[in-house]
Amino acid sequence: MLSLRFDVVMLSASPAVTNLNSALCSAMANRPATQGFPYLAETLRRAGVRTNTWWLPSMQSYYDTELGSVVVQSPALLDGMADVPAFDRSALIAALRADQAGHTTFPQFAQRAWRAGVVRWVVDLEQRTCTYFGSGEQTYVEQYAAVDVPVS
C-alpha cells in the first residue's frame, strides 16, 4: 500500500528514492502472507538500506541507505493531542505475533504498537534486529530470521 504513495510523488526522484521505491515495491509484491517481515527486510538490505526508523503516531519513516537518506510521511495514526500510552511489553509482543501470523495489516500493527506504548522503532538490517522504544526509553529488541530472497 505504501509503495503507491511513492509512485505518486516520484516525478523527479533522486537515485536514493528511486532505489528505495523499487525495493519496497518488489518486497511487497513477493513477500509471503505470514512471516513476511524478514523478506521485506532482506530485500531492503540488498538494496543498500542500513537502518529504517519509524516514529509513532506520526507514521514518519526514515531510511538510511547507501545512496542517501530518504524520509516517507504516511498518514498519521491520530490527529490532535493525546496521552502517550504506557509501554506494555506483553501487548507489543502480542501485536508482533499477530502481525507475523498474517492477522493484521501494517497500519493495524502500527496502531497496536502505538497502543502498547511504542513511540518509535529502529530496524538494523545488518544486525537483523528491531528495537521498539517507549516514551521513557523502555525497549524491547527482537531478532528476526535471515531468509533467502530470490533475485528478481
- How much is the pLDDT for 62? 98
- How much is the pLDDT for 4? 35
- How much is the pLDDT for 148? 83
Identify the residue whose cell numbers are 509484491: 29
Contacts 24+ apart (CB under 8 A), 104-112: 105/1, 106/1, 106/2, 107/1, 110/54, 110/56, 110/59, 110/77, 111/77
Residue 140 φ/ψ, nearest 5 degrees? -140, 125
The more confidently predicted of residues 4 and 41 is: 41
pLDDT band for position 125 (cuts 50, 70, 90)? very high
Tell me the average pLDDT across 110-131.
97
pLDDT band for position 8 (cuts 50, 70, 90)? very low
Domains contained in the chain, CATH given: 2-143 (3.30.1810.10)
Q: What is the pTM of this model?
A: 0.87
Residues 8, 54, 128, 6, Cα dihedral to 10°: 0
The more confidently predicted of residues 4 and 28 is: 28
Contacts 24+ apart (CB under 8 A), 61-69: 63/20, 65/16, 65/19, 65/20, 67/14, 67/15, 67/16, 67/19, 68/14, 68/15, 68/16, 69/16
**Biggest alpha carbon distance in the chain?**
45
